[in-house]
Structure 1
Amino acid sequence: MSNSINTSEIIFTNEKMAQALHTAAKKIAPLWPLENFVAVNPYLGLSGHSFESIARQLSFQAGIQTTMPRDYYLKAIQENKLLLEDIEIVLAKNKTIEYDDAPSFIRDLKSKDFEKVKTPKVNTVAEVARKISSANWPDFMLDCISSWASSYFDQAQSQWKKDKHQLSLFSAWKIEAETNRSPSLMGLKGFHQLITELPDNPTEAAKIAIDSLGLDEEALPIYLHSLLLRVGGWSSYIAHFDWDSNRYGREEELVSEFLSILVCWEYGIFNALKNPVLESQWKIAKEEMIKKGFSEGSNSAISDLLILQEAYDLSAQRKLTGKFKVKVQSNQENIKCKVQAVFCIDVRSEVYRRNLESVAPEFETLGFAGFFGFPINFVKVGHDDGYDQCPALIPSGYKVLEKIDDQNQNEKVILRRKLNRAFSFAWKSFKSSAITSFGFVSPVGLSLLPKLFTDSFGITRPVPHPQHNGLSKKEIENLSVDIESRQNGGQITGIPLADRVNMAKGALQAMSLTNNFARMIMIVGHGSTSVNNPHASGLDCGACAGQSGEANAKVASVILNDKEVRRQLAIDNIFIPDTTYFLACLHDTTTDEVSLFNTDLVPDSHQEDLENIKQRIRQAGKSARAERVLRMSMEGDGDIDSFVRSRSNDWSQIRPEWGLAGCSSFVVAPRTITRGLNLEGRSFLHSYNWKDDKGFAVLEAIMTAPMIVTSWINLQYYASTVDNKHFGSGNKTLHNVTSGVGVLEGFAGDLRSGLPMQSIYDGVNYQHEPLRLSVVINAPKEAMIQMLEKHDSVRELCDNRWIFLMAMNDEGEVTDIYDGELKWKKLNVEEGIFERNEKLIEELV
């Protein structure tokens, strides 16, 4: 081995190094690929610490912002969205800052020059090297890593592939680094030789690199986490492999391997450029990591902004709880329910549910996670592989095949889809390969001019959901699911009867739907329709792993209509009447149209009910579109229906819909409490009746699954809003899909995570307000405390104020808020507080 590797001062053993890498890796949240782009809390590995301490830590380690700029909050004060009284409440709680009142705090805040405040920040080797040389080493390192990762993780986008021989992550990178002369050409003389001399084992290589850099046990955790945050997109993408492996009971350490790569890069830069100045500056950087640390990695600006953010959350809670206090009681009890419709808890469903019940008083809507309690792996007709249709928190259970009941038609569809896929692959190869692409542009490109013209001017037919590609309208209507358990091509498909019964029972109990069944019950999944949209799956159902909820709705309806399933449910005192029929449906959240599936199977006795449903969903869709269009840039008095539908077909549309922008609360209660309330498409709604929940098993399931998932969604939108540079994906118009797994903003840089700016900002105003999730549950406070005592991960979210937990009584009034350490405190929704706030603002001005 060359003398360039100095092992004279060994600080870490292999075991200690492996543990340090593992600990840092666990702080990185997963990021799923574009085909199932589900929302993830980007602070996932950090929730064991308070929101405020993580805000300071992230600022110190990577310059990451966790609040909005000062002017955002000052504007919110003027708009009555942030109350001065709430600022005073927060100031009174914060013992480190003393102000007489909110106006004096605001005056002092305005006088500060935030731009001149120097925020302490960790410096890596590459960043130290940039300060003493003319080269931008951090960007060069990032571009090299991103280029290599794009090749390694390519998902059939590239036509010319490198043969990686099934190499591990670290081994594949090391081989590439040993032969790549780009670093040497940039001035890192001997870089490839330095990497060649490192061991092939990633932990051993990282240990030698860390020893060479002279990092001690106190600085190492800060440094390692900072490195991962510098390449946060690829780190998060790699983390999803570890997450999925863990979900299915396997152990992988791919993020640890990737971190070893980053450490070795730093080692290579340091030793290739080593000189007295670099060594001196690096020594200072290491000392600052320890001296300034997490607690000292703050400044008055961050503290001030954290006060404003907490007050902003409090003010939003006042408005939410105030709505429940003044709610006018519905006369629903006097109307016989003819149809029940189970929607996903998604905030977009709140708008449609409210409009449906408005035009159809005989309808009752319920909220439940959009996979409806049926975690399946779904294989589309004519496809060989399936995809999970369940939340990322749980593994899929059973492989379910799509089918068409007419066997001759089924075989034709299978053949046609396989031919279409073969043709698509050949066409893509011709269009994208390095040689034939030149022939594609001239002769073939001209033939696409008519399509380019019609697409550009909106002269298009409705775009089918990707699940229906290659099928005619009649075939789509006849698509069904095969739930019969059988051997199929060497694997077991379908769901055994006993498991169908258990899943049906669990789903009905979790929906609080175990009695008073209507004649027709709609199981309404949801999906979205858009074109030329890399993040399209992010608008589909997160509970279905970024897929449409159509398959789950069909599986649920088939099982719940099964006579044998119903017979066995009756043994457990769940009696579904023979007159009740479950109908699978799909809500398109872009157009607010609801599709009904397999209507030819609806009994003659229910045809009148079916016609009523068709009429009512048309009326509700028209009403919902009229409401949603208020958030869109529609000019003049045009046809609202045509305007909304055209957005789903417009290849240049950067905002086909607003998705879950605005999500800020999660209400768990009977629909009788929330019915008639306008929650403005900002609230997740889960049906729950605690009086029917013996032992509170359903409450436990809600607080450990849907509550976690809704916080993931809320915090993804929050982080994408407060710091789109680090936790969002930038400008959608600059996106380039890389490797088929994610997007770059422009031609280089890190893989972008989170949401595009166009998903949260309309160019003038933020359509998503950065508010932490307020969870309102109608259940005994003692029962909720039991769940927090039982589940540490849930308690961490509440204790550390990543979410706010509130209790609602049976009259529908929010009475208490969780105050940490398994204690509650009373909520005081004061009358007239908004009017008093306006007077305070006048005094301030």
Structure 2
Amino acid sequence: MNQAALALKITATEADTDVTLEARIAAACARVAPLWPLKHFVAVNPFLGFTGQRFAATAATFERVVRARILMPRAFYRHALAEGRIDDAAMAQALALHPDAGLDIDSLKQALRSDAPAGAPPAVVATVAEVLDGLAEGDRYVSLVAFMIDEISAFCASYFDEGQANWPNPTRRLRPYAAWRTLAIYDRNPEVMGIRGFRTSVAALPTDPIEAIGVILDRLGIPDRAIEDYLVRALFDLGWSAYARYVGWSAELEGRRDDTLLELLAIRLAWGFALFEARTDDAFRTAWARAMEQAAKLPVDHCLDETPELAVDVVLQEAYEIVFRRNLIARLLANRGSAAQSGRMDRPAVQAAFCIDVRSEIFRRALETLSPEVETIGFAGFFGFPIEYVPIGHLRGGAQCPVLLKPAFIVCEEVKDAEPFEEAEVLGQRLLRRRVAKAWKSFKVSAVSSFSFVETAGLGFAAKIATDSAGVTRPVPSPVSDGLDSDVAARVGPRLAPGKLKGRSTGFTDSQAVDMAEAVLKAMSLTGPFARLVLLTGHGSTTVNNPHASGLDCGACGGHTGEANARVAAAILNDSQVRDGLRARGIDIPADCWFVGALHDTTTDDVKLFDEEDLPAQLADDLARLKLRLADAAHLARLERRALLGVGDAADADAAIKARSKDWSQVRPEWGLAGNAAFIAAPRSVTRGLDLSGRAFLHSYIHEQDRDHRVLELIMTAPLVVASWINLQYYGSTVNNAAFGSGNKMLHNIVGQLGVLEGNAGDLRVGLPWQSVHDGSRFVHEPVRLNVFIAAPETAMDDVLRRHAGICDLVTNGWIMLHSLGGRGPVIRRCVRPGIWAASSSE
């Protein structure tokens, strides 16, 4: 072979190696679930990158690779058995699902008598940090692992900061790896802490992050079959990986590529490499060589027969969920024949659409209990309008739609019926107040004035501190008011007409408005008859001193309240030209029907109506009656919620629950979506009159009106997926809050306005606080995977599953349990995989 041919072959081999490495890096990065920042914090499935494999296999992968458990402690299942929440029949069904576990009921009960052995099974591949931990016998300070995480976290906090830091990171103009490397080669902290040659090791690495990763993997001697596992483990060592994944996710929605997560991986590996280079002693080198030998021998598959103790807990988790599912199915079947199923009313007095959020179930049931003539509807709280809502004085707004979607329209806030000079005056007031508030805050926290400010002005805040602490006043203004006076705020509304905002098109054209109105009404199964008043009720939460406040708002609205979407939807559906267009398409909204936008405060259960001044005069009495109905329903809902909130006296329930929204010491202003366990898409008659205890997402769906099954496809690929994200986030934060949650809420400190640290240092925390799933003595959220029930033909659902691999993976791999409610018999069937449905009793 001549020299040219040899050079060509070598070049081709190197290119193949580079492609393989990039593919492995991409696969590892895809395992990480994104973390949305606090300003629009939304629930995310922490196992998002693992839904392509079965739940049980993922449990093994997490124990062996990520070194994290995704099941409850053995004592939890032992207690459930004693309480009857696990029984022999359920254990037998669970064992049938996992024949590879090699267990029977007797051995399962025997294992239940004691806790699982301490410690995880051998790692598929150890990191440098893990080997150092082992040599230090768990002393996190001696091993320097905690120091490494602190240092990487401090860099990320300054690099990704969104305005919290007074002194910005000087390298932010660079990409993350280049920025870190620029600082690291001058940073003496690691060497002061005993990491010899840290700067030299970093400086010797390639400037390209992919090349750096390749060099590090080669120098560490990671076995070829263990490379992806090693990369996954390194990524899961850092909570900041989740935020970096969010940055990439947002770029993908805009059609861009972003390698922030890849570059953070290079930073993490470079730190591990520097630790490796600093340890030349025989003890470490021997331990590392032994770890690499182990990594080369272990099989690729992570099966239950390799981890017998894990197999026990997987089967017990299945049995626990089987009992829950059995009881829920029995209640659904019993309700089928009850008197509550009265069919759809000829013309209800009021129709009230609420978000499918589980908290709406309590309010809907209360409203129907007190007012049987009212028909309630469940639909995703963005009401089918994927908008970016821009408040007055802003050039950008927030995405008011599920994070799976990109806003299709920009809607701007304006002052209704105002002359240009009046709107300019409101805008000026708002901008002035923002500037004054910003200047005041800067003065209070500046290095020069902070101490003198407290000395001279501190006593002036005594009265406010006292009233805020007593719950008489609110410590901070409502984030949605933005400093507007109440008389001006009442006149503020959305601008729907097409226009321009810094070169971006805003509003809706006439044809777009009609198209969206038709799609929304059909998706809600609301094509007639129409009541005189139709309430479109978004939801939000009122809390103070709560970094995760947006997580209690509407996930369907991207972590914002649903006010903007409800008002936009109502305005469009009340438009006479839109109604003419709908009438031409077979949807006739009567002239005496009016849509009203509203907002349900899930902390207080108050419902606020918007744009009342636009209501036709002939409907004034209807509106007055509606307000009374809503007030009575709110009281009944508060009475139901009080026990879980620890409000003992029913007479004081209204005042006590409302006070929680103003209490800056309250770690549980409400329970959010804790307890969520079911998603039901069916006519309301299927669940009306059934007490689901605020644990079910309720989506209205009448399949007879959905002949082409497009609405079914929309439900299964959008709201159902979002509900699964919520369910699995609560699941993860319950089974292992240290890995998938954000720890103790009382210790949280906001970092970069992006997320929280638990304490004054450490890693970015993901997921929900411990107080969101536990009341101090018991779990409020049950770790149960989502049970989905859809009243639709099984063949139609099969078609959707075959067309959408993502939702098919959720079903076939056991991340959600899909059931059909389409038949009229006494059997509810569960989907095993597309085309295969089994009676629920046989699991």
TM bracket, shorter-chain basis: over 0.9
Letter of the 1:690 partner, please give it. H
Aligned partner of 1:437 among 447, 450, 470: 450
Aligned to 1:833: none
Aligned to 1:612: 625
More deviation, 468-477/62-71: 468-477
In structure 2, the CA distance between the partners of 1:778 and 1:733, relative to structure 1 (3 Å rule), is same
Aligned to 2:393: 382
Letter of the 1:126 partner, please give it. A
Aligned to 2:122: 120
Structure 2 CA distance, aligned partners of 1:282 and 1:410?
A: 68
Aligned partner of 1:726 among 739, 749, 753: 739
User: What secondary structure is seen at the aligned counterpart in 2 of 1:295?
Assistant: coil
TM-score (norm 1): 0.94
Letter of the 1:389 partner, please give it. Q
Aligned partner of 2:325 among 317, 320, 345: 317
- RMSD, aligned α-carbons: 2.0
Equivalences for residues 12-23 of structure 1 within 5 A: 13-23=17-27
Alpha-carbon contact 1:346-1:684 (below 8 Å) kept: yes
Q: CA deviation at 1:241?
A: 0.9
Structure 2 CA distance, aligned partners of 1:488 and 1:705?
A: 29
Aligned to 2:403: 392
Aligned to 2:596: 583
Aligned to 2:181: 174
Structure 1 CA distance, aligned partners of 2:225 and 2:467?
A: 62
In structure 2, the CA distance between the partners of 1:489 and 1:812, relative to structure 1 (3 Å rule), is farther
Residue 220 (structure 2) pairs with residue 213 (structure 1): yes
Letter of the 1:90 partner, please give it. A
Letter of the 1:358 partner, please give it. T
Q: CA deviation at 1:61?
A: 1.6
Aligned to 1:26: 30
Alpha-carbon contact 2:382-2:557 (below 8 Å) kept: yes
More deviation, 787-796/481-490: 481-490
Letter of the 1:143 partner, please give it. D
Aligned partner of 2:83 among 76, 79, 82: 79
Aligned to 2:266: 260
More deviation, 353-362/270-279: 270-279
More deviation, 511-520/453-462: 453-462
Alpha-carbon contact 1:28-1:44 (below 8 Å) kept: yes
Aligned to 2:134: 131
Q: CA deviation at 1:278?
A: 2.0
- Give the share of equivalent positions with the same residue, in percent: 41
Structure 2 CA distance, aligned partners of 1:305 and 1:547?
A: 38
Aligned to 1:88: 92
Q: CA deviation at 1:637?
A: 5.2
Aligned to 2:5: none
Aligned to 1:668: 681
Letter of the 1:654 partner, please give it. V
Aligned to 1:66: 70
Q: CA deviation at 1:276?
A: 3.1
Aligned to 2:159: 152
- Give per-residue Cα distances to partners, 1:446-500, cap 9 Å, x unaligned: 3222221111122225976411131223333222100000134543221222111
In structure 2, the CA distance between the partners of 1:245 and 1:451, relative to structure 1 (3 Å rule), is same
Aligned to 2:711: 698
Letter of the 2:377 partner, please give it. L
In structure 2, the CA distance between the partners of 1:595 and 1:735, relative to structure 1 (3 Å rule), is same
- Give per-residue Cα distances to partners, 1:679-726, cap 9 Å, x unaligned: 110000000011111210110111111110000000000000000000
Q: CA deviation at 1:147?
A: 0.6
Residue 203 (structure 2) pairs with residue 201 (structure 1): no
In structure 2, the CA distance between the partners of 1:409 and 1:21, relative to structure 1 (3 Å rule), is same
Q: CA deviation at 1:95?
A: 2.2
Residue 414 (structure 2) pairs with residue 403 (structure 1): yes
Q: CA deviation at 1:578?
A: 1.2
Residue 787 (structure 2) pairs with residue 774 (structure 1): yes
TM-score (norm 2): 0.94
User: What secondary structure is seen at the aligned counterpart in 2 of 1:467?
Assistant: coil
Letter of the 1:303 partner, please give it. A
Structure 2 CA distance, aligned partners of 1:568 and 1:214?
A: 68
Residue 353 (structure 2) pairs with residue 342 (structure 1): yes
Alpha-carbon contact 1:531-1:650 (below 8 Å) kept: yes
Aligned to 2:776: 763
In structure 2, the CA distance between the partners of 1:829 and 1:221, relative to structure 1 (3 Å rule), is closer
Letter of the 1:14 partner, please give it. D
Letter of the 2:193 partner, please give it. M
Residue 241 (structure 2) pairs with residue 235 (structure 1): yes
- Give per-residue Cα distances to partners, 1:67-125, cap 9 Å, x unaligned: 1111111212222222331011112343234555x4x2454123445234652234211
Aligned partner of 1:277 among 270, 273, 283: 283
Q: CA deviation at 1:290?
A: 3.6
Structure 1 CA distance, aligned partners of 2:45 and 2:445?
A: 35
Residue 196 (structure 2) pairs with residue 183 (structure 1): no
Residue 630 (structure 2) pairs with residue 624 (structure 1): no
- Give per-residue Cα distances to partners, 1:184-206, cap 9 Å, x unaligned: 11111211121112221111111
Structure 2 CA distance, aligned partners of 1:577 and 1:335?
A: 14
Equivalences for residues 489-504 of structure 1 within 5 A: 489-504=502-517
Aligned partner of 1:543 among 531, 548, 556: 556
Structure 2 CA distance, aligned partners of 1:230 and 1:38?
A: 22
In structure 2, the CA distance between the partners of 1:520 and 1:829, relative to structure 1 (3 Å rule), is farther
Aligned to 2:54: 50
Structure 2 CA distance, aligned partners of 1:359 and 1:234?
A: 48
Letter of the 2:270 partner, please give it. C
Letter of the 1:37 partner, please give it. F
Alpha-carbon contact 1:318-1:829 (below 8 Å) kept: no
Structure 1 CA distance, aligned partners of 2:535 and 2:605?
A: 16
User: What secondary structure is seen at the aligned counterpart in 2 of 1:24?
Assistant: helix
Aligned to 1:843: none
More deviation, 523-532/74-83: 74-83
Aligned to 1:251: 257
Equivalences for residues 322-721 of structure 1 within 5 A: 322-327=330-335, 328-330=338-340, 332-333=342-343, 336-405=347-416, 406-407=418-419, 409-460=422-473, 465-636=478-649, 638-721=651-734
User: What runs of 5+ residues in structure 1 fail to find an aligned partner?
Assistant: 1-8, 831-845
Aligned to 2:813: 800
Letter of the 2:176 partner, please give it. L
Letter of the 1:480 partner, please give it. G
Letter of the 2:383 partner, please give it. F
Aligned to 2:762: 749
Letter of the 1:617 partner, please give it. L
In structure 2, the CA distance between the partners of 1:98 and 1:349, relative to structure 1 (3 Å rule), is same
In structure 2, the CA distance between the partners of 1:57 and 1:437, relative to structure 1 (3 Å rule), is same
Give the number of aligned pairs: 819
Alpha-carbon contact 2:341-2:685 (below 8 Å) kept: no
User: What runs of 5+ residues in structure 2 fail to find an aligned partner?
Assistant: 1-12
Aligned to 2:9: none
Letter of the 1:698 partner, please give it. V
Alpha-carbon contact 2:341-2:686 (below 8 Å) kept: no
Letter of the 1:306 partner, please give it. V
Structure 2 CA distance, aligned partners of 1:539 and 1:818?
A: 32
Structure 1 CA distance, aligned partners of 2:82 and 2:790?
A: 32
Structure 1 CA distance, aligned partners of 2:45 and 2:826?
A: 29
